[in-house]
Amino acid sequence: MTKRLITIIIKIIIIAIIIQTICIPTSNALSSLDDVLSSGENFISEGKNQGSAINSTDLQAISDVTYNVLLALGVVATVIVGAVLGIKLMWGSVEQQSKAKEALPPFIISAIVIFGAFGIWKLCVMIFSQL
């Protein structure tokens, strides 16, 4: 019964993909060279008229939020993995202790990479914000 259900689901997915492929337009190309040139000129003039489209305060706020969230996730992951390795080293069997000792150098290297990457990111943000 489950094999029949799986084949029905696969057939439904294949039919949905075929219908989606048929219904979606395949090309949004412009019809002539004049359309291409005028679209390019319109794009350039819009860019010149807007001036600076990047708001530095919004970009700084987004960067700070992203930095803090990713740093917190990195710290949490590092602490959890370190705690698991520590528990295996303290209370594990001889086999678990040897596996934990083998996992220690990659753990230390990954922690250095995580915190080094965040340090480099913060350093770059500080340097480039002064330019």
Cα angle value 19/25/28 (rounded, 5°):
165
Range of the domain at 80: 64-131
In a domain, 1, yes or no: no
Is the sign of the CA dihedral 65, 67, 69, 75 positive or negative? negative
In a domain, 52, yes or no: no
Domain count, the chain: 1
Lowest-confidence segment of 1-15, 45-59, 113-127 by average pLDDT: 45-59
pTM of the model: 0.54
Name the H helices within the chain. Answer: 2-23, 33-50, 56-91, 94-129
Q: How confident is the model at residue 53 (pLDDT cuts 50, 70, 90)?
A: low
In a domain, 106, yes or no: yes
In a domain, 10, yes or no: no
pLDDT confidence of residue 63: 82
In a domain, 55, yes or no: no
Tokens 């350093």 belong to 123
Give Cα separations from 131 to 38, 56, 77, 122, 127 (angstroms): 35, 12, 34, 15, 7
The most confident of the ranges 11-25, 33-47, 83-97 is 83-97
In a domain, 18, yes or no: no
- As a whole number of angstroms, the distance between CA 32 and CA 36 comes to 7
